[in-house]
């Protein structure tokens, strides 16, 4: 099952990349939503090999996943691979500079079930595909708008 969306952001590619590669911010956001998250690597620099162990409640069950950064091409691409019991996934974030102050954010998420129970889960998600696609697009659009607003706010204070 695959989800895909694109958003244009009124901010330079360097600003957008700095926001999407601010992993500490994402970790804190996940913790605020109730997830347990811990770095599973000892890297000090940002790059391929960064890894997180994540635990969260979904559909009344505690879930555990490992997320690893497997592709890092600043300021163009980030690729994350996730593995859990029976379900794998790949998320790719692509950035394209449309102009000096405008960036296109492309986000692809693919889920790959590897067990019967994971296939049943993905099948139930497919039944709700329209609603999930809409929520996916809205979340990415909100995130893009927040990045744009942060850039504009920072730009105003710098001038």
All domains of the chain in start order, with CATH: 2-158 (3.30.530.20)
Strand pairing partners for 47?
Answer: none
Nearest to 53 by CA among 77, 79, 21, 30: 30
In the prediction, which pLDDT does 156 show? 57
Rg (CA), the chain: 17
Q: Please provide the average confidence, as pLDDT, over all residues in the chain.
A: 93
pLDDT of 157 over the 90 cut = no
Q: Burial of 143 by CB count in 10 Å (0-12 exposed, 13-18 middle, 19+ buried)?
A: middle
Does this model's pTM top 0.75? My answer is yes
Taking a C-beta distance cutoff of 8 angstroms, is the pair 125, 133 a contact? Answer: no
The predicted-structure confidence for 56-115, as pLDDT tens digits, reads as follows: 988 788 999 999 999 999 999 999 999 999 999 999 999 999 999 999 999 999 999 999
Show contacts of 149-152: CB within 8 Å, 24+ apart.
150/19, 151/9, 151/10, 151/11, 151/12, 151/15, 152/10, 152/11
Mean pLDDT of 19-34: 94
Taking a C-beta distance cutoff of 8 angstroms, is the pair 111, 94 a contact? Answer: no
């Amino acid at each position: 099952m695959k989800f895909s969306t694109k958003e244009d952001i009124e901010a330079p590619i360097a600003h957008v990349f700095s926001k999407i590669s601010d992993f500490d911010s994402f970790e804190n956001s996940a913790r605020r939503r109730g997830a347990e998250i811990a770095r599973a690597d000892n890297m000090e620099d940002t790059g391929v090999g960064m890894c997180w162990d994540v635990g969260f409640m979904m559909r009344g069950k505690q879930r555990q996943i490992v997320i690893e950064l497997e592709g890092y091409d600043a300021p163009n691409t980030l690729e994350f691979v996730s593995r859990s019991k029976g379900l794998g996934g790949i998320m790719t974030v692509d950035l394209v500079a449309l102009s000096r102050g405008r960036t296109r954010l492309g986000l692809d998420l693919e889920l790959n079930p590897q067990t019967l129970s994971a296939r049943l889960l993905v099948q139930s998600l497919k039944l709700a595909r329209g609603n999930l696609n809409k929520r996916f697009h809205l979340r990415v659009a909100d995130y893009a708008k927040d990045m744009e607003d942060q850039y504009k706010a920072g730009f105003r204070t710098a001038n």
